[in-house]
Structure 1
Amino acid sequence: MHGSNMGQRSAAQALVDQLVLHGVEHVFCVPGESYLPVLDALYDTPQIQVTVCRQEGGAAMMAEAVGRATGRPGVCFVTRGPGATNASAGVYIAHQDCTPMILFAGQVDRRMRDREAWQEMDFSAVFGSMSKWAGQIDRGERMAEYVSRAFHTASAGRQGPVVLALPRDMLDDPTEPNVLQPVSPLETAPGADELAQLQDLIEAAERPLLIVGGSRWDEASYAAIHRFAERFELPTLTSYRRGSLFDPDHRCYGGDLGLGANPKLIARVKAADLLILAGGRLGEVASQGYSLLDIPAPKVKLVHIHPGAEEIGRVYQPHLAIHASPRRFAPALAALTPRIARGPAEAEAAHRDYLDWSDAATPQPGALNFGEVMVWLRGHLPPETMLCNGAGAYAAWIHRFYRFRRLGTHMAPAVASMGYGVPAAVAMKRLYPERPVLCVAGDGDFLMNGQEFATAVQYKLPFVTLVVDNASYGSIRMNQEMAFPGRVSATDLVNPDFAAYARAFGGYGATVERTEDFADAFCAAEASGLPAILHLKIDPEVMTPGSTLSQIRERALAGR
């Protein structure tokens, strides 16, 4: 352990020692005088790469992205008050998306506490509802204890964020070396009786479906869930923004339960007589506004497997509850061998429906068809490409036409938070410098954290960002037209020249206005070796695949 033979250490040095012990290789930060001793300790710690960001929200999203990609807590440091509140956007994503993450935030000196000193904050009150634990380290001698607990808490059960406040004067406290073990997340496994009940339910069902979601998957569990689906001929779906949990080219794959889902897929779920929910929660989006299952007692038989015991029965009362993590549950399924042969017809039909829905781009107004762009990218990007995006109407083309052929290659918040794409792309290129990284953002989405493009330039991170510009907050405009047709209020945007924006930061920038020009522009952006932005201008009438503003408005007016 870093510093283990150095005798007495400051609390700041002890904190960094603990990060090394727990295998942290990257931290993301915006510097602040409230935690300068930590930055000084990091100066002497080459094992940890420090990424300096331009806004705390971006830094926290980068840490969340690392936690999402690795299954180990991503780490972020920010200053007190305004810095911490800026970072709350990333903490909230980690909470909703079940991502392990630790936010360390500076705090006022202990002697000034409870006076509403400059930039003072009650961290437990502010972050308590969006984290698994929010605390404050008031005694430097307890640094190792608190950090160990933070890693355990963030990694266990339903994973999530931890927030720890660091009083400035506490960081100078002397500490003694602590001999601790690095955290290994507790993995719960299913029992033999539970597996036997699951097999009985599957073989008694006529129309079973498997829905894969949540976090805590790895390569072994990913492979195991595929073999299970094959043996039992189970049509398999993924929940919202968890598409990389199942190979879309697999003959059992039926698509994703997200926004704008395939109507045939929704009908298939409603017709099922057994749903096996593995790893996920079936939240509002995946459940299509909680319309697919009755609450609290679904009429369909439901098997819910989840690593967090508190999540089982929270919304839906399952017919069979299995408290197990994907890393133990999926491999344990190897013990099950079908006793009754089930034909492949249902699984193959679900896969055909998926292919029919997603193979070819739908026509749309304007010279640039974003659906055709996504189909081209699907055919030309290598399977290990990390695709990062935030939220907006543009994401509908990603979900429908792109295919995630490797585990963990889609970095996008299920909570649909805007501004995520660029920070996530920075984090992924820092984490996996050898892998292609693609960021896709809407025009409104991009400018929420577009300043982190400067971070990409600073660290020489060559990834391509597609800014899809329809001159509006598209998803909000779409809902506005549904509720108040023809009454446009606060959803139009006047945008900058995004290609010039890229060049101003020292990156590569180009504008694309026609579908046929995209391939050459993308190849040129990649060949530049620089962080790049391609400004894609699409017709403002276009909202989602096969849907325009005029059509949405006409349907809304006809329904009145």
Structure 2
Amino acid sequence: MARHGGQILADQLAMRGVKRVFSVPGESFLAALDGLYEAGIPNIVCRHEGGAAMMAEAYGKMTGQPGVVLVTRGPGAANAASGLHVARQDSTPMVAFVGQIARDHRDREAFQEVDYRRFFGPLVKWVAEVDQTERLGEYIARAFDIACSGRPGPVVLALPEDMLSAASEMADLSVPARLPAEATQAQVSSVLDALKQAQRPLVVAGGPHWSDKAAADLARFAEGFDLPVAVTFRRQDHMDNRHSHYVGDLGVGMNPALGQRLRQADLVLALGTRLGDTATDGYTLLDPTAQKARIVHVHADPDELGRVWRPDPGIALPAPAMLAALSHVAGRPGPWGDWTAAARADYEAWQRPKETPGTVKMEQVISWLSAHLPEDAILTNGAGNYAAFLHRYFRFKGHGTQLAPTSGSMGYGFPAAISAKLENPDRPVICLAGDGCFQMTLNEMSTAVQHGANVVVIVANNGRYGTIRMHQERTYPGRVSGTDLANPDYPALARAYGGDGIVVADQADFPAAMERALAAGCPFVIELRLDGEALATGFTLSEARAMGQRR
């Protein structure tokens, strides 16, 4: 039976188990909207393509299945690029369908015409334009396969509107079964042999493909071999932070003691991580040009092995597959017991709150959240000085409780929270955002209200872009430009959208505010009135300025 391209698209999505799509509608893909209606796939209509793309990315990060976003041509595609960048740097499977001008109008700079192969080429894993309706299923299948293969990432398919509205009798393509990856005995033995020769090993876990089982396998492996485990930037839910062998995160604002352990390690077992510039503090803790530590690198993408580091060996395998095998090996602790215990002690010391100025203190806010939220609560955030408090003082208890961009994208936390709540309606979802970060995507409040995503947003309001101001004061002390912010009344704004909120100006009022927020039947904003001098580094802005003046 003949179907138009939009119906073919929706039927292929349904066959692949797509639960929902995120979109901002456009006339260039009306046929796709009609197909979604016919197939009964929920369409989460958003207020900006950047927010829609970030919601789709968050879905992919949570589930391991490609998040799907539909946006229109030209400006819509350009707006969505921010979420695609997150997916690329975070190794998240994602498929973006972009409306396109009619095929017979191409190469005339028609209304909103963009060459998507050139525009998205450096940003995504693969980009293509579908010219024939009868090949639509083939392209969709390839898009999903590429999004999930090797190192996962985003894929873009451009859909000319006349192709999408044309009819075809093409049959649906079945979804092939995939056998899970398994570690070979030789691969496992190579890891064990490297451990036998180590004195100061450090496991560094990160990257995609993680699961509850992988987190449990990592803990079992670490226990059996008495190994210290660090995680990379914003991958803190890869292992229960309360575990005796968890030693912290190698991210922005990392514990200096942990950074020194990475520098001193004679063996780095890198599981799933690329060991990029953030984890290595700009390649100063590990230097690719003068590599001293032995690096055993386990990564799903064979092209990643040897690209920056000289692995010995490099193992092309998803990290969870290696851990599944290692977790069943009888433990063989080496001569590094004191090294592991000291690394954990460093982490415990780093967790002790360092007081900041003001009547509301972020270190106490995060400590309260860590101690009182249910263990399955999901925390999201974007980027800003406030996030360093979360990284330092919150203990993530299980996989799937952290949604944050390793790309450092501001504005991510709120769309991600909406996506998380839609996927997990019975779990508390809390978004941490700065006043600058939240204002980038707070228009999605109407998306949250419309679709019943009752998230809690904690806004750290210090009246400035705090991280940039901190660097500004150190580099150009006393010369403030472009970092101060005018802010709305956030609770009033939430109420205008149909949510609710409260201002907290005293630390003693925060617990009651959180109880009210968690019990609310609508999106709820808690605005924290912070002292503008407070910084996550433990210094104040005045001290940062003084450090700059002494240079």
Post-superposition CA distance 1:172-222 (Å, at most 9, x none): 222224343325567544332222121111121111010000001122222
Q: Note the 1:24-39 alignment, pairs <5 A.
A: 24-39=18-33
SS of 2:405's equivalent?
coil
The question of whether the paired residues in 2 share the 8 Å contact of 1:384 and 1:409 is answered with yes
> What is the rounded CA distance, in whole Å, between the counterparts of 2:502 and 2:156 in structure 1?
40
Counterpart of 1:203 in structure 2 is 196
> What is the rounded CA distance, in whole Å, between the counterparts of 1:291 and 1:352 in structure 2?
24
Find out whether 1:194 has 2:183 as its counterpart: no
> What is the rounded CA distance, in whole Å, between the counterparts of 2:536 and 2:301 in structure 1?
35
Q: Note the 1:265-344 alignment, pairs <5 A.
A: 265-296=258-289, 298-339=291-332, 342=335, 344=337
Cα 1:456/1:484, change in 2 over 3 Å = same
Cα 1:345/1:379, change in 2 over 3 Å = same
Counterpart of 2:403 in structure 1 is 411
Counterpart of 1:376 in structure 2 is 368
Amino acid at match of 1:173: A
Counterpart of 1:11 in structure 2 is 5
The question of whether the paired residues in 2 share the 8 Å contact of 1:364 and 1:545 is answered with no
Counterpart of 2:17 in structure 1 is 23
The question of whether the paired residues in 1 share the 8 Å contact of 2:438 and 2:459 is answered with yes
Find out whether 1:540 has 2:532 as its counterpart: yes
The question of whether the paired residues in 1 share the 8 Å contact of 2:215 and 2:240 is answered with no
Aligned with residue 471 of structure 1, among 463, 476, 480: 463
Indicate the percent of aligned positions where both proteins have the same amino acid: 46
The question of whether the paired residues in 2 share the 8 Å contact of 1:371 and 1:545 is answered with no
TM-score (norm 2): 0.98
Deviation at 1:296, TM superposition (A): 4.0
The question of whether the paired residues in 1 share the 8 Å contact of 2:253 and 2:537 is answered with no
Q: Note the 1:148-187 alignment, pairs <5 A.
A: 148-182=141-175, 187=180
> What is the rounded CA distance, in whole Å, between the counterparts of 1:340 and 1:472 in structure 2?
49
Amino acid at match of 2:397: R
CA RMSD of aligned residues (A): 1.4
Aligned with residue 40 of structure 1, among 34, 38, 44: 34
Find out whether 1:530 has 2:522 as its counterpart: yes
SS of 1:310's equivalent?
coil
The question of whether the paired residues in 2 share the 8 Å contact of 1:187 and 1:327 is answered with no
> What is the rounded CA distance, in whole Å, between the counterparts of 1:363 and 1:176 in structure 2?
67
Find out whether 1:256 has 2:249 as its counterpart: yes
The question of whether the paired residues in 2 share the 8 Å contact of 1:306 and 1:322 is answered with yes
> What is the rounded CA distance, in whole Å, between the counterparts of 1:310 and 1:343 in structure 2?
32
Structure 1 unaligned spans of 5+: 1-6
Count the aligned residue pairs.
Answer: 551
Structure 2 unaligned spans of 5+: none
> What is the rounded CA distance, in whole Å, between the counterparts of 1:110 and 1:454 in structure 2?
35
The question of whether the paired residues in 1 share the 8 Å contact of 2:7 and 2:38 is answered with no
The question of whether the paired residues in 2 share the 8 Å contact of 1:152 and 1:185 is answered with no
> What is the rounded CA distance, in whole Å, between the counterparts of 1:186 and 1:446 in structure 2?
42
Amino acid at match of 1:275: V
Amino acid at match of 1:385: A
Aligned with residue 452 of structure 2, among 442, 460, 484: 460
SS of 1:77's equivalent?
strand
SS of 2:374's equivalent?
coil
Cα 1:75/1:456, change in 2 over 3 Å = same
> What is the rounded CA distance, in whole Å, between the counterparts of 2:549 and 2:69 in structure 1?
48
Counterpart of 1:142 in structure 2 is 135
Counterpart of 1:3 in structure 2 is none
Amino acid at match of 1:106: G
Deviation at 1:338, TM superposition (A): 4.1
Post-superposition CA distance 1:428-451 (Å, at most 9, x none): 111111111000100010011110
Aligned with residue 509 of structure 1, among 497, 501, 517: 501
Aligned with residue 400 of structure 1, among 392, 399, 402: 392
Deviation at 1:545, TM superposition (A): 4.3
